[in-house]
Amino acid sequence: MSFTSTASFIWSVANLLRGNYRQSDYGKVILPFTLLRRLECVLEPTHAQLITLTSQATVGGVYLGDTVEVEDCSTVETTLHIAFVPNRINPKREFFEIEPEQAIAVLKVLGKKDVTPMINRDLNINVTDAERASTVKSNRRLPLDYEVMGIPVGATLTYIDDETITVEIASSKKVKYNNEVVSLTKATQEILKLDYAVQPTRHWLYEGKSLQEVYDETYTLEDI
Protein backbone atom coordinates (compact mmCIF):
# COMPACT_ATOMS: atom_id res chain seq x y z
CA MET A 1 0.00 0.00 0.00
CA SER A 2 1.42 3.38 -1.02
CA PHE A 3 1.84 6.32 1.32
CA THR A 4 -1.04 8.15 -0.35
CA SER A 5 -3.33 5.13 -0.04
CA THR A 6 -2.40 4.71 3.62
CA ALA A 7 -3.06 8.37 4.37
CA SER A 8 -6.42 8.21 2.59
CA PHE A 9 -7.38 5.13 4.56
CA ILE A 10 -6.50 6.79 7.86
CA TRP A 11 -8.53 9.88 7.07
CA SER A 12 -11.47 7.75 5.88
CA VAL A 13 -11.88 6.73 9.50
CA ALA A 14 -13.23 10.24 9.98
CA ASN A 15 -16.51 8.99 8.49
CA LEU A 16 -17.01 6.94 11.65
CA LEU A 17 -16.89 10.12 13.70
CA ARG A 18 -19.54 11.94 11.66
CA GLY A 19 -22.17 13.42 13.95
CA ASN A 20 -19.88 13.47 16.99
CA TYR A 21 -17.05 15.72 15.80
CA ARG A 22 -16.81 18.69 13.51
CA GLN A 23 -14.65 18.12 10.45
CA SER A 24 -12.10 20.59 11.79
CA ASP A 25 -11.75 18.44 14.92
CA TYR A 26 -11.03 15.15 13.13
CA GLY A 27 -7.30 15.67 13.38
CA LYS A 28 -7.52 16.02 17.15
CA VAL A 29 -8.70 12.40 17.33
CA ILE A 30 -7.26 10.57 14.34
CA LEU A 31 -3.67 11.79 14.64
CA PRO A 32 -3.26 10.95 18.37
CA PHE A 33 -4.70 7.47 17.84
CA THR A 34 -2.43 6.96 14.83
CA LEU A 35 0.55 7.90 16.99
CA LEU A 36 -0.56 5.56 19.78
CA ARG A 37 -0.92 2.70 17.33
CA ARG A 38 2.54 3.41 15.92
CA LEU A 39 4.02 3.37 19.43
CA GLU A 40 2.23 0.11 20.16
CA CYS A 41 3.80 -1.51 17.08
CA VAL A 42 7.29 -0.20 17.84
CA LEU A 43 7.19 -1.34 21.48
CA GLU A 44 5.53 -4.69 20.76
CA PRO A 45 8.80 -6.72 21.10
CA THR A 46 9.26 -5.55 24.72
CA HIS A 47 5.58 -5.51 25.68
CA ALA A 48 5.66 -8.78 27.63
CA GLN A 49 8.75 -7.72 29.58
CA LEU A 50 7.16 -4.36 30.41
CA ILE A 51 4.01 -6.06 31.71
CA THR A 52 6.14 -8.34 33.90
CA LEU A 53 8.15 -5.46 35.36
CA THR A 54 5.01 -3.39 35.95
CA SER A 55 3.27 -6.24 37.76
CA GLN A 56 6.31 -6.72 39.97
CA ALA A 57 6.31 -3.05 40.95
CA THR A 58 2.58 -2.61 41.59
CA VAL A 59 0.90 -5.91 42.43
CA GLY A 60 3.53 -6.99 44.91
CA GLY A 61 4.26 -3.59 46.38
CA VAL A 62 6.50 -0.63 45.56
CA TYR A 63 9.96 -0.41 47.07
CA LEU A 64 12.21 2.61 46.84
CA GLY A 65 15.93 2.08 47.23
CA ASP A 66 17.12 5.42 48.62
CA THR A 67 14.88 8.30 49.72
CA VAL A 68 16.03 11.31 51.72
CA GLU A 69 14.39 14.38 53.17
CA VAL A 70 15.94 17.70 52.11
CA GLU A 71 15.48 21.28 53.24
CA ASP A 72 15.35 22.91 49.80
CA CYS A 73 14.23 20.89 46.77
CA SER A 74 15.26 23.64 44.35
CA THR A 75 18.82 23.63 45.68
CA VAL A 76 19.04 19.86 45.37
CA GLU A 77 17.69 19.96 41.82
CA THR A 78 20.19 22.66 40.82
CA THR A 79 23.03 20.71 42.41
CA LEU A 80 22.08 17.54 40.54
CA HIS A 81 21.96 19.46 37.26
CA ILE A 82 25.40 20.97 37.84
CA ALA A 83 26.91 17.67 38.98
CA PHE A 84 25.61 15.67 36.02
CA VAL A 85 25.66 18.24 33.22
CA PRO A 86 28.37 16.27 31.34
CA ASN A 87 25.99 13.29 31.33
CA ARG A 88 23.03 15.19 29.92
CA ILE A 89 21.63 13.38 26.88
CA ASN A 90 19.71 16.32 25.42
CA PRO A 91 20.44 19.94 26.42
CA LYS A 92 16.73 20.73 26.04
CA ARG A 93 15.52 17.84 28.21
CA GLU A 94 16.22 16.80 31.78
CA PHE A 95 17.47 13.32 30.87
CA PHE A 96 20.84 12.17 32.22
CA GLU A 97 22.76 8.97 31.53
CA ILE A 98 24.25 8.14 34.93
CA GLU A 99 24.64 5.21 37.28
CA PRO A 100 22.15 4.98 40.19
CA GLU A 101 25.06 5.10 42.63
CA GLN A 102 26.01 8.58 41.41
CA ALA A 103 22.61 10.05 42.25
CA ILE A 104 22.49 8.14 45.55
CA ALA A 105 25.86 9.55 46.59
CA VAL A 106 24.71 13.15 45.96
CA LEU A 107 21.41 12.61 47.78
CA LYS A 108 23.20 11.19 50.82
CA VAL A 109 25.38 14.30 51.00
CA LEU A 110 22.50 16.76 50.59
CA GLY A 111 19.85 14.89 52.56
CA LYS A 112 19.35 15.63 56.22
CA LYS A 113 17.31 12.51 56.99
CA ASP A 114 16.96 9.05 55.46
CA VAL A 115 13.21 8.48 55.08
CA THR A 116 13.40 5.34 52.92
CA PRO A 117 11.80 3.04 55.55
CA MET A 118 8.93 5.48 56.20
CA ILE A 119 8.19 6.01 52.49
CA ASN A 120 8.24 2.30 51.73
CA ARG A 121 5.94 1.67 54.68
CA ASP A 122 3.40 4.24 53.50
CA LEU A 123 3.52 3.04 49.90
CA ASN A 124 2.88 -0.56 50.91
CA ILE A 125 0.35 -0.04 53.67
CA ASN A 126 -2.38 -1.94 51.78
CA VAL A 127 -0.16 -4.64 50.30
CA THR A 128 -0.99 -8.13 51.54
CA ASP A 129 1.62 -10.55 52.87
CA ALA A 130 1.06 -12.82 49.85
CA GLU A 131 1.66 -9.95 47.40
CA ARG A 132 4.75 -8.83 49.32
CA ALA A 133 6.17 -12.36 49.32
CA SER A 134 5.54 -12.59 45.59
CA THR A 135 7.47 -9.38 44.96
CA VAL A 136 10.40 -10.42 47.14
CA LYS A 137 10.65 -13.67 45.19
CA SER A 138 10.46 -11.99 41.78
CA ASN A 139 12.99 -9.31 42.77
CA ARG A 140 15.50 -11.77 44.23
CA ARG A 141 18.58 -12.12 42.09
CA LEU A 142 20.37 -15.42 41.84
CA PRO A 143 24.07 -15.07 42.68
CA LEU A 144 26.58 -14.96 39.87
CA ASP A 145 27.82 -18.40 38.90
CA TYR A 146 30.31 -18.09 36.07
CA GLU A 147 30.29 -21.81 35.36
CA VAL A 148 26.52 -21.79 34.89
CA MET A 149 26.82 -18.66 32.76
CA GLY A 150 29.29 -20.41 30.46
CA ILE A 151 32.31 -18.34 31.52
CA PRO A 152 35.30 -20.63 32.22
CA VAL A 153 37.96 -20.23 34.88
CA GLY A 154 40.78 -18.13 33.46
CA ALA A 155 38.49 -16.06 31.27
CA THR A 156 38.83 -12.28 31.32
CA LEU A 157 36.17 -9.70 32.13
CA THR A 158 36.79 -6.13 30.93
CA TYR A 159 35.63 -3.04 32.78
CA ILE A 160 33.14 -1.31 30.50
CA ASP A 161 34.49 2.24 31.01
CA ASP A 162 38.21 1.39 30.80
CA GLU A 163 39.43 -1.55 28.74
CA THR A 164 42.76 -1.49 30.57
CA ILE A 165 41.00 -2.67 33.75
CA THR A 166 40.31 -6.39 33.77
CA VAL A 167 39.61 -9.23 36.18
CA GLU A 168 40.25 -12.93 35.73
CA ILE A 169 37.67 -15.58 36.60
CA ALA A 170 39.20 -17.49 39.53
CA SER A 171 36.33 -19.88 40.31
CA SER A 172 32.60 -20.22 39.73
CA LYS A 173 31.92 -17.39 42.20
CA LYS A 174 35.15 -15.37 42.48
CA VAL A 175 37.45 -13.25 40.32
CA LYS A 176 41.08 -12.28 40.62
CA TYR A 177 41.69 -8.53 40.85
CA ASN A 178 45.00 -6.90 41.85
CA ASN A 179 46.36 -10.35 42.73
CA GLU A 180 43.54 -10.92 45.21
CA VAL A 181 40.65 -13.36 44.89
CA VAL A 182 37.45 -11.42 45.60
CA SER A 183 33.84 -11.22 44.49
CA LEU A 184 33.08 -9.19 41.38
CA THR A 185 30.95 -6.94 43.58
CA LYS A 186 33.98 -6.16 45.77
CA ALA A 187 36.21 -5.51 42.78
CA THR A 188 33.65 -3.16 41.24
CA GLN A 189 33.24 -1.33 44.53
CA GLU A 190 37.00 -0.76 44.75
CA ILE A 191 37.22 0.45 41.15
CA LEU A 192 34.37 2.92 41.67
CA LYS A 193 35.84 3.94 45.05
CA LEU A 194 32.52 3.46 46.83
CA ASP A 195 31.88 2.61 50.47
CA TYR A 196 28.86 0.46 49.67
CA ALA A 197 28.18 -2.56 47.46
CA VAL A 198 26.88 -2.19 43.91
CA GLN A 199 25.32 -4.58 41.41
CA PRO A 200 28.37 -5.32 39.23
CA THR A 201 27.15 -6.99 36.03
CA ARG A 202 26.37 -3.80 34.11
CA HIS A 203 29.96 -2.60 34.61
CA TRP A 204 31.67 -5.53 32.87
CA LEU A 205 32.02 -7.10 29.44
CA TYR A 206 32.72 -10.70 28.53
CA GLU A 207 34.04 -11.18 25.01
CA GLY A 208 32.57 -7.80 24.06
CA LYS A 209 29.14 -8.60 25.48
CA SER A 210 27.61 -7.01 28.56
CA LEU A 211 27.82 -9.33 31.56
CA GLN A 212 24.29 -8.20 32.42
CA GLU A 213 23.08 -9.60 29.10
CA VAL A 214 24.85 -12.88 29.79
CA TYR A 215 23.24 -13.01 33.23
CA ASP A 216 19.75 -12.26 31.88
CA GLU A 217 20.10 -14.89 29.17
CA THR A 218 21.24 -17.47 31.73
CA TYR A 219 18.73 -16.79 34.49
CA THR A 220 15.14 -16.36 33.31
CA LEU A 221 12.25 -15.17 35.50
CA GLU A 222 11.27 -18.83 36.00
CA ASP A 223 14.69 -19.56 37.49
CA ILE A 224 14.55 -16.73 40.00
Cα Rg, the chain, nearest whole Å = 24
At residue 137, the pLDDT reads 47
Give the residue with greater pLDDT, 61 vs 72: 72
CB-facing half-sphere around the CA of 183: CA atoms within 13 A:
11
pLDDT of 119 higher than 80: no
For the chain, the average pLDDT equals 76
Q: Is the pLDDT of residue 116 over 70?
A: no
Task: Give the residue, 143 or 124, on which the prediction is more confident.
Answer: 143
Instruction: Say yes or no to pLDDT of 12 above 70.
Output: yes
- Model pLDDT for residues 127-182, shown as the tens digit of each residue: 566 655 555 444 456 788 999 999 999 999 999 989 999 999 999 999 999 999 99
Per-residue pLDDT for 57 more than 60?
Answer: no
Please compute the mean of the pLDDT values over residues 184-190 and round it to a whole number: 92
Q: Mind giving me the DSSP string for the chain?
A: --HHHHHHHHHHGGGGGBTTB-GGGHHHHHHHHHHHHHHHHHHGGGHHHHHHHHHHHHTT----S--EE-S-HHHHHHHHHHHTGGGBS-TTS--B---HHHHHHHHHHH-SEE-HHHHHHHHTTT--HHHHHHHHHHHPPPPP-TTTTT--TT-EEEETT-TT-EEEE-SSS-EEETTEEE-HHHHHHHHHT-SS----GGGEEETTEEHHHHHHHHS-TTT-
Task: Provide the pLDDT for residue 117.
Answer: 63
Q: pTM score, two decimals?
A: 0.43
40 has a pLDDT exceeding 80 = yes
Which residue has better confidence, 70 or 167? 167
For the cut 70, the answer to whether the pLDDT of residue 84 exceeds it is: yes
CB 172 within 8 A of CB 147: yes
pLDDT above 90 for 88: no
What is the mean pLDDT of the segment spanning 108-122?
64
In 3D, which of 52, 56, 106, 117 has the Cα closest to residue 77? 106
Mean pLDDT lowest for which of 28-42, 152-166, 195-209? Answer: 28-42
Check residues 64 and 108 and name the one with the higher pLDDT.
108
Q: Is the pLDDT of residue 59 over 50?
A: no
